[in-house]
Chains A and B, each alone.
Chain A
């Protein structure tokens, strides 16, 4: 640190978003450019802590050595910073865009000031690495002779594949869709992640020798037995695609869709691939999104860009406090009100709302019926939210998107045939080292962890790769 008291004098700044009226007219990312000096200044706010909580249990899941690259960026040693970042994180350009940055809520500077803009520094390092051509393939020095199949090409699968390849193994990634990327490609809206960014990274993986086989639904197109026979190890990274549904009257009506179908459809459209028209269009519609999380927010941004008449978001839980809730003191991930870009773009939020029914005509949804909730303490002492009598209301809606989270992996033929044990939540059960109940079969990412952050998917992929590598070497 050039200035050990930089954190006192320098203020946090993150890139500005393009004005709402402009950004909703296109699908591209909408953060303005930031001069190099400004990013270095942000990095200079890092206190280079003796105990960097950004690395701790509440901090960065991939264990980015944040103070190290903050120091390097501050001194302008961008390439070194990239090396440091890539040593822990295979895809910093993705986490730099998409991560909710638990590192920042654990940042020590956040105790007394605003935290360091870690995520932005990360993204800048990564983007600069690509722009300068520093992101080069790092093929292994020698081949191990082992073959590993990775099923699923989401962030967990890709991270596992890259790590395994670099350890010298022959790696084949299977993807059921026609393009590689899984949730990254189909689930994340273009305005949050331009797919060209993903493609650049995939180029590196291919150059390192990772082989991709798309359009193959493993378990159907190739049997589990065939897979086991061909490969020395299998890593299942198929994600947690089973969405939570809403079992209320009127659910079968046309116009009530799962959020992920909606988002996928839009991404396909932009990519020029086949998509389902009815699902993807919010133009002129009154949209209600059920579920207050990130997926809901992505839907809202997409709807706005598609030209929706109105967008409204229902959340079951009450409105969290504006600041850190006392139940989640620093450095824990704070329970607090978060306002995403989509909320700026014209999306109204309602809290403590339970949807009770949909109704419509001609098989098409027109109305949504709901009631307010209140926290109640029951006789046995447990607390829950219950409907408040007399608060029923209804709202006109001609597109309803269900963004209520995921229950776990889809119970595919692959899982059945592999005969891996599942845990209580329906995810693939593993020991501490990503080993499933079937020797040689490993699991990583949401398929194992349940729906979670991209950064966790990367961590899972890396850890599983380590474990597979050790297992293979141990023979």
Chain B
């Protein structure tokens, strides 16, 4: 592995993969199982990746039962005589290739074996074939050896006898391995790794491609190699450095996914180690710790945890159910016993949260589990010869359909266990019932657990009385004199000032939260300085930025998918993880972490001694000089230790006592310092932390406290502020204090869920301590001590300056002679001349407009002087950089401006966020310049295609608005928006009242119907999914460059490396400061990091990986001037994006009101009256970009560059400016930013540029050629409209079948396509992912067999028919047929599926018609149009976020209507009574029967009278109202029928 350097840190690396297992139910070992698993692995090759050299694999591996017969045979000649199966252990070791080093390691290993009372039977060289490896891989290849170990006495006798082959020997082997690993830690740089060490399982793995695995390991080709269980895994990682150990499987598991909460899980595991004990391990426990090693992958850590829990005695499945529990908190129909099981275990451990499909085994049982969200696919088959095959994709192992006994898919949170010793398969229900009945978990919880809500209710009477008194008091005060009113205001204000509250915050943040119960939205990004560059005192929280998920795991929608979310958390000490007793449940449960005053008094009132709460003041004396804060923090930590020694279960860190002499310790510091101190002391398990603080008020403040260890927060001053603001006399009809507080707390809760879900985290318990923040501007010393593990890459301020800022606030409150009655204006959210600095201010805005409108370069220079001067006030990182001067070149030798403007783009702003005029003006200007404008995510009017108003870049975002075949083929660049700077990790919402007829048309929806953009792309939950989407887009639009938009955060570089390996042509790194039409304020201000950091990290990572030459790099985020462009180029950017500045050129005056549709200059509005005021001209925009290009040229001449290419990545031409008058800025260290990276491997870099793109890399996919063949076959239809009909075989590696042909159709005929059934293809087999993606009108694809995920993605008018083979032995309408996320973003067309679909069927469908016989969870999510008929069961959360279209569900058992399967947040349920609707239904079912031959459909048609009564119609309320508006009120239902029928008609005859 390459070491940490510059901004690159290997710790950020991610991986994902394909995985699966093959097992014989009765444990019959065979070569066949191994063969099938290797076949499975090979057929998942497209889910793995290769490095820049196109040869080095990211990793592949296999885990088998110890193949006794084989090993005995090969060991014999080596003089190793193996005892009976099970009575010896095999270790697979990766050893140093240098013999001397290897011997050291081997002697150490042997010593460890002896130390555990075992003997070494012998060593074996694992035979390998190096010739399959690429150069770098070969050079990095370790020596592979197996060691054979027996219990003392067994081996020597050389005869087999019955020994205890059960767990005790396995534990010995575990202890040996841990001792080896511990010893290895003592040998620095030792290149030794234990892949497996067990009497039951054996691992072969390495830095290999799936097809290389068996070619490399000769053992895997041996006919005698037999196993009843085989786990396989192919890896797709973001890095490319030879690392053999990172391949899966680990000792117990292989994992497709990512543990988002890893940092917290590891911390809490460390915490619990202090109280671990187990009779099984006895005194050897110490040798097992730490449970999880540092610097290893999330999967390896999960493996460690599973291993510990299992070997300590918990059944395998039980242990996994603790680590990855299903979503039980919001599950309404779960059995009480099962709920109790989870509830009990929540006291023991927080979930390891994140996308996961895990296959795991102890060599006897083999199992698989899916995370609570079902974010990874897992399909399985049970054969009639007792094999179970489970894999990331269906069809990965060819099994004749006659042999298939049953098929299925793993559902969210569900587990499947094959017990080979008992010879049975346990499904989730059976398994969990069994687990839940082992102990009386329910009774334990009931007897031990204290519920805070109950306590508060118990105090009810007192409570009410208290409130009455308070209210009475309040009124009294109102009635009394003005002076008293003043005094009260003043004392509150004194506190507010001391904690730095501003008028801005009250007006823009707290007020709206208390009024509406939600976090407020804002617009136009953030142009204020970084906290560390601000000259105003900043809260410590402001130095932290939220991390968020991008590409490698998805964000969650906490509103629409609330059922997986939970804010509940337990307070109190923890117990021995390796045991379970009733006392383990003794904790205080709180439903959410924001505690009111009443809740706090209840917490303080808990009498149980183990849960006693102790309050520690978090204050420091102002008079004690600059060390006071540091000393006070140390004191606080010592006080925490003492309090624990005195016995308490809850520590309240409180800044309540501030006074003229005492200032508050910044609350994140107090919490994190105590948290880390107690971890270091091994005491953390004894207490939970509560922060009682006046400082926390924004959502992000709360989240930060929880992320650094607080289980709960009492934001007393914010609560008081909110109550005071709600004074009735001040605000008229607004309700009184308590109600306002309630809404405020609700808003905080929602906001917390949002921040968690951004990172893909579902439960607060897992978020607590997870530290998912990045520090920008804090010193490494401070971070290492108190925020250990947090990335902080440019250094920054330490304790002294933190204390200084706190004291500035304190003195503002306590140390002024003047009685001020106003809070500081703040000016963070709205410009205030006396407030925070903004780069866009009246002066810069006016100058830019004057310059571009009068085409005056000299005025532009005044602007850029100002903007750069502003920058030199050092409010951004680039403002701290200066150029290294060298010999200039004459200006006329520098490449012309027109060569530079080609590198400019405008930002993704949708038609919808912008008005028509503003949007098209940008497109015209950019087309004139040879640059590119961006459609944004709202689709585009087809009338613009092929004209000068066409957007060269078309965006593909999570909602897929208007993403049709025609849209896709009309782009020079297709941009996959993973995240946007203003709100990375979040979705969006265009409220119905803003969706007018034109917007509705371009977004393929209906006027008045709300349009929701989901937080994630539902076809990108991982890096291999992204690769699939890129593949799909290249398939339909081969000429378009594919770009991927990411947002800067710590670790973005490694994500970008993965994206490059996923074959993107262009990567955009957006800064955190970018504009937006609407985003929660805390996201605008506190998520993501500056582009300088993200760009530099990406450049460095790509260069180190040798990937830079393959991909163009673009950056954006408040770029304004030629200087900005030059700095970005020197840091590594090929291209540059601008959004805010061109809008200002168009006339934007930064109202920051885009989200209100009231833009007075007619830019960000659809209102025709306002749009009439638009004064922007393409010429102005052209002027602006030429001005910039000119300025770039001047700088290039000065710096001696003739071409941009020469300049890109030359960080040696930048230097940090000497520190200014800004003491905070002077603490920064930019050396990591300016690190000049070099490729880690010299191989092949001669052909690819090191610093920037030199050649257009051919990224076209090598595939089976099926897509190309379809185009060839369809020529007669394409050219002459003749009918074409063919039958072809298909396999799971044939992906996006039909997309290329659809692109051809769309290019020729647009979305109108061809007449129905002009082209018909019929396939047999298992289709790969994205079958029928973007299928165009006139194309009909029929599949007999099965299909994987993303069937009919973006369906554009075509027809899809999928059915099981006629010869199937299983019940077709109850068997899974197609995968997850089917018809995602479909805009029109028809689909008939005679079988069951996976999760998220029809997600974001806006016009397709589909019939299916069963769907998983989240069916029809975010649907805005079209019709879906489900002839069978649905999963949970059906219709979440569904704002349009209709679904009919055949509810045979009443569970849909009455079982809570449907999310009725936006939809209404009704029986189908309207005659027209019934006719429609019947016709769709008839068509389904006709196309698919569905037995189910025929059966229902045969008893239609009964069937039609069982249908439940799911109709979105808004949609119904829109329909009613559209038609006569009386004819509403007729209209509804008419619409649907009309859609069918157009699908058929269009």
User: Which A residues touch B1153, using CB under 8 A?
Assistant: 4, 47, 49-50
Per-position contact with A for B1145-1186: 1 when CB-CB < 8 Å, else 0? 000011111001010110000000110010000000000000
User: Which B residues touch A329, using CB under 8 A?
Assistant: 846, 849-850, 853
Which residue from B524, B820, B821, B825 sits with its C-beta under 8 Å from A50? B524
CA distance A141 to B1172 in the complex (A): 55
In the complex, the chain B residue whose C-beta lies closest to that of A82 is B821
Residues of A137-167 contacting chain B, CB below 8 A = 138, 140-142, 144, 166-167
- When the two chains form their complex, are residues B1160 and A47 in contact, meaning their CB atoms are under 8 A apart? yes
Q: A5-B1158, A49-B1149, A108-B1149 are in contact. Are A83 and B821 (CB under 8 A)?
A: yes
User: Which B residues touch A7, using CB under 8 A?
Assistant: 1158, 1160
**Measured between C-beta atoms, what is the minimum distance from A359 to chain B in Å?**
48
Q: Which of A12-20, A56-64, A186-194, A273-281 interfaces with chain B? A: A56-64
A53 at the interface (CB under 8 A from B): yes
Q: A87-B821, A112-B1160, A167-B818 are in contact. Are A53 and B830 (CB under 8 A)?
A: no
User: Which A residues touch B523, using CB under 8 A?
Assistant: 50
- When the two chains form their complex, are residues A77 and B833 in contact, meaning their CB atoms are under 8 A apart? no
- When the two chains form their complex, are residues B1150 and A111 in contact, meaning their CB atoms are under 8 A apart? no
**Measured between C-beta atoms, what is the minimum distance from B536 to chain A in Å?**
16
B845 at the interface (CB under 8 A from A): yes
- When the two chains form their complex, are residues A87 and B822 in contact, meaning their CB atoms are under 8 A apart? yes
User: Which A residues touch B845, using CB under 8 A?
Assistant: 51, 53
CA distance A111 to B1161 in the complex (A): 8
- When the two chains form their complex, are residues B846 and A50 in contact, meaning their CB atoms are under 8 A apart? no
In the complex, the chain B residue whose C-beta lies closest to that of A49 is B1151
User: Which A residues touch B818, using CB under 8 A?
Assistant: 138, 140-141, 166-168
Which residue from A51, A67, A140, A167 sits with its C-beta under 8 Å from B1149? A51
**Measured between C-beta atoms, what is the minimum distance from A329 to chain B in Å?**
6
B731 at the interface (CB under 8 A from A): yes
CA distance A144 to B815 in the complex (A): 12
Q: A51-B840, A53-B1149 are in contact. Are A63 and B834 (CB under 8 A)?
A: yes
B819 at the interface (CB under 8 A from A): yes
Per-position contact with B for A334-363: 1 when CB-CB < 8 Å, else 0? 000000000000000000000000000000
Which residue from B817, B832, B841 sits with its C-beta under 8 Å from A140? B817
**Measured between C-beta atoms, what is the minimum distance from B528 to chain A in Å?**
12
**Measured between C-beta atoms, what is the minimum distance from B1022 to chain A in Å?**
38
CA distance A88 to B835 in the complex (A): 13
Per-position contact with B for A59-88: 1 when CB-CB < 8 Å, else 0? 100010101100100011100100110011
Which residue from B1149, B1152, B1156 sits with its C-beta under 8 Å from A111? B1149
Which residue from B732, B820, B1161 sits with its C-beta under 8 Å from A87? B820
- When the two chains form their complex, are residues B831 and A51 in contact, meaning their CB atoms are under 8 A apart? yes
In the complex, the chain A residue whose C-beta lies closest to that of B1150 is A51
Question: B503, B817, B830, B838: which has the most chain A beta carbons within 10 Å?
Answer: B817
CA distance A330 to B1158 in the complex (A): 20
CA distance A377 to B743 in the complex (A): 70
CA distance A113 to B1161 in the complex (A): 10
CA distance A422 to B819 in the complex (A): 36
In the complex, the chain B residue whose C-beta lies closest to that of A65 is B825
A95 at the interface (CB under 8 A from B): no
Per-position contact with B for A1-42: 1 when CB-CB < 8 Å, else 0? 000110110000000000000000000000000000000000
User: Which A residues touch B843, using CB under 8 A?
Assistant: 56-57
- When the two chains form their complex, are residues A57 and B842 in contact, meaning their CB atoms are under 8 A apart? yes
Residues of A83-127 contacting chain B, CB below 8 A = 83-84, 87-88, 106, 108-109, 111-113
Question: A7, A48, A112, A168: which has the most chain B beta carbons within 10 Å?
Answer: A112
**Measured between C-beta atoms, what is the minimum distance from B510 to chain A in Å?**
15
Q: A8-B1169, A63-B834 are in contact. Are A331 and B846 (CB under 8 A)?
A: yes
Main secondary structure of the interface of B (DSSP, over half): loop
B479 at the interface (CB under 8 A from A): no
B730 at the interface (CB under 8 A from A): yes
Question: A55, A75, A329, A332: which has the most chain B beta carbons within 10 Å?
Answer: A55
- When the two chains form their complex, are residues A56 and B1160 in contact, meaning their CB atoms are under 8 A apart? no
User: Which B residues touch A426, using CB under 8 A?
Assistant: none
Residues of A268-294 contacting chain B, CB below 8 A = none
**Measured between C-beta atoms, what is the minimum distance from B944 to chain A in Å?**
27
User: Which B residues touch A51, using CB under 8 A?
Assistant: 830-831, 838, 840-842, 845, 1149-1152
Question: A50, A55, A75: which has the most chain B beta carbons within 10 Å?
Answer: A50
User: Which B residues touch A331, using CB under 8 A?
Assistant: 842, 846
Which residue from B731, B817, B833, B1156 sits with its C-beta under 8 Å from A166? B817
User: Which A residues touch B850, using CB under 8 A?
Assistant: 329
In the complex, the chain B residue whose C-beta lies closest to that of A332 is B846
A129 at the interface (CB under 8 A from B): no
A52 at the interface (CB under 8 A from B): yes
Q: A4-B1153, A47-B1151, A50-B523 are in contact. Are A56 and B842 (CB under 8 A)?
A: yes
- When the two chains form their complex, are residues A141 and B817 in contact, meaning their CB atoms are under 8 A apart? yes
Summed over the interface, the residue pairs from A and B with CB atoms below 8 Å come to a total of 121
User: Which A residues touch B503, using CB under 8 A?
Assistant: 65, 68
CA distance A71 to B730 in the complex (A): 13
- When the two chains form their complex, are residues A50 and B1152 in contact, meaning their CB atoms are under 8 A apart? yes
**Measured between C-beta atoms, what is the minimum distance from B873 to chain A in Å?**
15
Per-position contact with A for B867-888: 1 when CB-CB < 8 Å, else 0? 0000000000000000000000
**Measured between C-beta atoms, what is the minimum distance from B163 to chain A in Å?**
77
- When the two chains form their complex, are residues B1173 and A108 in contact, meaning their CB atoms are under 8 A apart? no
User: Which A residues touch B830, using CB under 8 A?
Assistant: 48-52, 67
User: Which B residues touch A57, using CB under 8 A?
Assistant: 842-843
- When the two chains form their complex, are residues A55 and B833 in contact, meaning their CB atoms are under 8 A apart? yes
User: Which B residues touch A88, using CB under 8 A?
Assistant: 834
In the complex, the chain A residue whose C-beta lies closest to that of B731 is A75
User: Which A residues touch B1173, using CB under 8 A?
Assistant: 112
CA distance A47 to B1173 in the complex (A): 16
CA distance A106 to B1153 in the complex (A): 19
- When the two chains form their complex, are residues B822 and A77 in contact, meaning their CB atoms are under 8 A apart? no
**Measured between C-beta atoms, what is the minimum distance from A325 to chain B in Å?**
13
Residues of B842-867 contacting chain A, CB below 8 A = 842-843, 845-846, 849-850, 853
- When the two chains form their complex, are residues A108 and B1151 in contact, meaning their CB atoms are under 8 A apart? yes
User: Which A residues touch B821, using CB under 8 A?
Assistant: 83, 87
- When the two chains form their complex, are residues A65 and B832 in contact, meaning their CB atoms are under 8 A apart? yes
Which residue from B832, B1151, B1158 sits with its C-beta under 8 Å from A55? B832
CA distance A53 to B1150 in the complex (A): 10
**Measured between C-beta atoms, what is the minimum distance from A69 to chain B in Å?**
11
In the complex, the chain B residue whose C-beta lies closest to that of A64 is B833
CA distance A65 to B1169 in the complex (A): 29
User: Which B residues touch A50, using CB under 8 A?
Assistant: 523-524, 830-831, 1150-1153
CA distance A195 to B507 in the complex (A): 38
CA distance A424 to B524 in the complex (A): 44
- When the two chains form their complex, are residues B730 and A77 in contact, meaning their CB atoms are under 8 A apart? yes
**Measured between C-beta atoms, what is the minimum distance from B822 to chain A in Å?**
4
- When the two chains form their complex, are residues A52 and B731 in contact, meaning their CB atoms are under 8 A apart? no
In the complex, the chain B residue whose C-beta lies closest to that of A52 is B831
**Measured between C-beta atoms, what is the minimum distance from B1318 to chain A in Å?**
51
Which residue from A48, A108, A142 sits with its C-beta under 8 Å from B817? A142
User: Which B residues touch A112, using CB under 8 A?
Assistant: 1160-1161, 1173
- When the two chains form their complex, are residues B822 and A84 in contact, meaning their CB atoms are under 8 A apart? yes
**Measured between C-beta atoms, what is the minimum distance from A453 to chain B in Å?**
17
**Measured between C-beta atoms, what is the minimum distance from A85 to chain B in Å?**
10
- When the two chains form their complex, are residues B1160 and A111 in contact, meaning their CB atoms are under 8 A apart? yes
User: Which B residues touch A53, using CB under 8 A?
Assistant: 842, 845-846, 1149
Since A8-B1170, A49-B831, A329-B853 are in contact, a sample of 16 more A-B pairs with Cβ atoms closer than 8 Å, ordered by chain A residue number, is A50-B1150, A50-B1153, A51-B830, A52-B832, A56-B833, A56-B841, A56-B842, A56-B843, A57-B843, A65-B834, A68-B825, A77-B730, A83-B822, A140-B817, A140-B819, A167-B817
Q: List 19 A-B contacts (CB under 8 A).
A: A7-B1160, A47-B1151, A49-B831, A51-B830, A51-B831, A52-B832, A53-B842, A55-B832, A55-B833, A56-B833, A57-B843, A58-B842, A65-B825, A65-B832, A87-B820, A113-B1160, A166-B818, A167-B818, A329-B853
Q: Which 3 A-B pairs have CB atoms at the shortest separation, nearest pair first?
A: A56-B842, A50-B1152, A168-B817
